[in-house]
Amino acid sequence: MSEATLEGAVEEAARYVREARHVVALVGAGLSVESGIPPFRGPGGLWTKYGEPDMRGYDRFMDDPKEWWEQRMSASGSYKELVDALSQAKPNAGHVALREMEELGYLKHIITQNIDNLHQEAGSVAITEIHGNRTKLRCVGCSDRWPLDEFPIEELPPSCPGCGGLVKTDTVMFGEPIPRDALEECIAQTQQCDCMLLVGTSAAVYPAAGFPVDVKRSGGRLIEVNPNETPLTDISDVVLRAPAGESLAGVMARLRAAAR
Ligand code: APR
């Protein structure tokens, strides 16, 4: 996208954000690419390299949770490249811009598909992690969650001190239902939303990929922030065809200027 066109698109996006009542950001792996974390699909994507995992991940866990935990405790797990990148990653300009947009009162909520905890590290507050968080554990029964380093694992599989349920990593496995509390919050935010930022997502995974369609159907505006086309490009009101760090920082600069 030419500089001039991007300028115009950033200007228009900032106007849409200013004019909106309830802005929500739907975030995907693309936002964390500039933090050194590979995406899943497209060029350099993990699934592109290693193939998409089958949908039986959760079934395998539930079939033998002890075996699953023993594997997890012994090896560094699969996708060492992802594990290493996650452990070294820091928030980038895109994460910071979303935090600032929240502080200025424009951004009401972030629905993130990312498990990397970088929104929290950037200081954002109103966040729903639809695919969980890599730094937490969760009870399959009551959905109680604990920071990893605050839950001593004395037995395998670990069980919930509250309801006795099975405890697993908070990240949502392939084939696992989205935890009810997270899904309900996503639906509630989508129903209130009249302007959704689509940041770095290929819109390939549901239910997340359906939220923008619901916003559009209820008359809301969509702002796509992505260097590449996606299935949502055609229904987006404005497209920032550039990396998220640059695009969102540009939108933030105009919102700050308007706030003065
Ligand atoms: N800025 C913005 N977007 C970017 C950038 C960048 N710097 N770099 C890449 N992108 C875009 C790509 O063009 C692509 O559209 O980010 C998107 C990443 O798509 P995916 O890798 O498919 O990630 P995501 O949409 O988050 O995947 C959804 O799939 O595998 C599951 O659980 C996993 O949460 C993940 C879900």
Token pair 């209130």: residue: 192
pLDDT bin (cut points 50, 70, 90) of residue 50 is confident
Helix (H) or strand (E) holding 138: strand 136-139
Residue 75: pLDDT band by 50, 70, 90 thresholds? Answer: low
Average pLDDT for the chain: 94
Out of 31, 33, 199, 224, give the residue to mutate to test ligand 1, the one with the largest number of ligand atoms within 8 Å of its CB: 33
What pLDDT does 77 receive?
Answer: 52
- Give the integer Cα–Cα distance in Å for 193 and 195: 6
- Whether residue 169 has pLDDT greater than 80: yes
Predicted confidence at residue 83, as pLDDT, reads 83
Q: What is the pLDDT of residues 175-213, one digit of tens each?
A: 999 999 999 999 999 999 999 999 999 999 999 999 999
State yes or no: is 131 an active-site residue. yes
Q: Provide the 8-state DSSP code for 24.
A: E
Q: How far is the CA of 32 from the centre of ligand 1 (A)?
A: 9
pTM of the model: 0.96
Tell me the per-residue pLDDT of 97-143, one tens digit each, with 9 for 90 and over: 999 999 999 999 999 999 999 999 999 999 999 999 999 999 999 99
- Per-residue pLDDT tens over the stretch 219-257: 999 999 999 999 999 999 999 999 999 999 999 999 999
Q: How far is the CA of 118 from the centre of ligand 1 (A)?
A: 15
Task: Answer whether 62 contacts ligand 1 (Cβ < 6 A).
Answer: no
What φ, ψ does residue 126 adopt, rounded to 5°? -85, 90
What is the full DSSP assignment across 47-77?
A: HHHH-PPPTTHHHHHHH-HHHHHHHHHHS--
> What's the confidence (pLDDT) of residue 76?
53
Listed residue (122, 126, 125) closest to 97, CA to CA: 122
